Amino acid sequence: MGITVIFFLGLVIAFIGVIPPGLLNMTVAKISLKEGASRGILFALGVCLIVGVQTYLATIFSKYLSQHPEVIDILQRVALVIFILITIYYLVLARKQPKPNIDANVRSKHRRFFQGMLLSSLNVFPIPYQAYMTLTLSSFGLLSFKTYSVISYVAGATTGTFVMLYIYIFFFDKIKNEKWTSQKSMNYTIGFITGMIAVVTLINIIKEM
């Protein structure tokens, strides 16, 4: 598989993972609204630096798992249950979830970069998410664990994260009142995404039975 394709796979997967409103993207949106886009970009760069490290660690973990198929079988079944529960939660129970209230009172430009690194470090979701996605891509023959392939995928994931945060920085003020950005719509979006991942996981389990 060409490194360009691998790059764009990493970009798309990371982009999708950052779409739902959470701590990082809502913080970068609030910073840009209150302090300007430049400080939002610095925060986003700090986030992306950590995301790159997390994605690399996830691919290393995936490489280990690929050499221990008995562990993969267990994790796939656990992941299937988790994604089904998350899908049910967002589609049925999370419709009235309140919007996150993010405090953004740090004033220094450089502190924004390090704040992005700190909050991104606290957000460990990309590691299991990317580990699972790289395993899935590997099972379909779309990703190998060679050095050039891993570097290309990590670069794509980092870029995809930045692109989504960039969209929050420059367009959130214009789209925040649109119907599709309401919490209810976002919950449906998250539920749809996790539902699709659950379907792919189920297909993989059935193929290996």
pLDDT at 114: 92
Q: Rounded to 5 degrees, what are φ and ψ at 94? A: -100, 20
Of 37-46, 55-64, 122-131, 170-179, which range is least confident? 170-179
> What pLDDT shows up at residue 50?
96
CB 79 within 8 A of CB 201: yes
Residue linked to tokens 């990082």? 24
10 and 153 Cβ atoms separated by less than 8 Å: yes
What is the Cα–Cα distance from 67 to 29, expressed in whole angstroms?
Answer: 41
Terminal-to-terminal C-alpha distance of the chain = 27
Tell me the mean pLDDT in the region 71-81: 73
Average pLDDT (133-159) is: 91
Alpha-helix residue ranges (DSSP H) falling in 126-182: 126-139, 147-175
Domain that holds residue 20: 3-208
Largest CA distance in the chain: 56
Average pLDDT (1-5) is: 84
Consecutive H or E run containing 107: none
Angstrom distances, CA of residue 177 to CA of 9, 53, 148, 174: 31, 34, 43, 7
What integer pLDDT is reported at residue 180 of this predicted model?
47
Domain count along the chain: 1
Question: Quick check: 117 and 49 in contact, CB under 8 A?
Answer: yes
